[in-house]
Structure 1
Amino acid sequence: MSRCLTFLDDADALLSGRGDKTWPRAAAFLIRLALEACLADYWSRTAPGLERCDTHAQIVCLKGYRDPGTARLAARCWAALSRACHYHGYELSPTAAELRGLHTEVRALAGRLW
């Protein structure tokens, strides 16, 4: 859980305006890393070995271990963050408000999984 919170704190610093011009994408990467660390911590406690699977597989398996709302939240956050982490010339970078919302949701997910 500590890696998850460290990544979220670092993303919070970038979202608070203490970063450089690359902050939107960097914040998105940190929030996604926090989500992945949170899932890995959960699986290492719940179903050892599953933490070594890719994130998509972990999220699919989450449906069988947690309530549907938690599984949907994890899937939605991971999809949005993965999309935000990739540069597309025809799309704008995620806004600070979008990233702040994802940051809040990942922090809530961490609380649900801990």
Structure 2
Amino acid sequence: MSASPQAMVTAARRLLLPEAGAVQSLAPGLRARAAAVLLRMALDLALDAYWLNVTPSMTHVGKHRMLCLEWYAGHETARQCRTTWTALSAACHYRSYELPPASVEIHARLQEVDGILAALAPDDNGLSGTST
């Protein structure tokens, strides 16, 4: 059983903006990195769902599904998806010589993922966010 992309975005938002009075056992950098992992997973799930609606064989192609996105979802959505996915991938990796990602940076990526999820969501006609 897998979670929905929106559920992962909500979990990432809770990590970045914990409720007032909540006990915070994780350091801010660790929460930001965990939120980045959740956001990248949400983006991957959204891409899978998008391609499942457009052409199911693209869910097995991996990186090519992002490269082909421009012809199906539009240039801006494809560019935003590539940029955000790359930034989140970099934030997910632990390197002993680098500081963890800042919560502010990951929160900005969260807003971008929200926009991408909206762009890739099926419209009222049952078609995924295709451009005309």
Partner of 1:41: 49
Structure 1 unpaired stretches of 5+: none
Distance 1:89 1:58 in 2: 32
Instruction: Give the % identical residues.
Output: 33
Q: Alignment RMSD, CA only?
A: 1.3
Bigger mean CA deviation after superposition, 60-69 or 5-14: 60-69
Structure 1 residues 56-67: aligned runs within 5 Å: 56-67=63-74
Distance 1:53 1:11 in 2: 27
Q: TM-score, normalised by structure 2?
A: 0.80
Q: Partner residue of 1:100?
A: 107
CA distance in 2, matches of 1:31, 1:87: 16
Structure 2 unaligned spans of 5+: 122-132
Q: Tell me if 1:8 matches 2:15.
A: no
State the SS of the aligned residue for 2:95: coil
Within 5 Å, which residues of 2 pair with 1:69-84?
A: 69-84=76-91
CA shift, 1:50, in A, is 0.8
Cα deviation for residue 25 of structure 1 reads: 1.1
Q: TM-score, normalised by structure 1?
A: 0.92
Write the letter of the residue equivalent to 2:99: L
Number of matched residues?
Answer: 112
Displacement after TM superposition at 1:8 (Å): 0.2
Equivalent residue letter for 1:87: Y
Q: Which residue of 1 aligns with 2:36?
A: 28
For each residue in 1:7-63, what CA deviation from the matched residue of structure 2 results, as whole angstroms up to 9, or x when unmatched?
A: 000001100136522211111100000111111110000111211222x22110102
Work out the CA distance in 2 between the residues paired with 1:42 and 1:29: 20
Q: Which is greater in Rg?
A: 2
The equivalent residue for 2:124 is none
- Residue equivalent to 2:96: 89
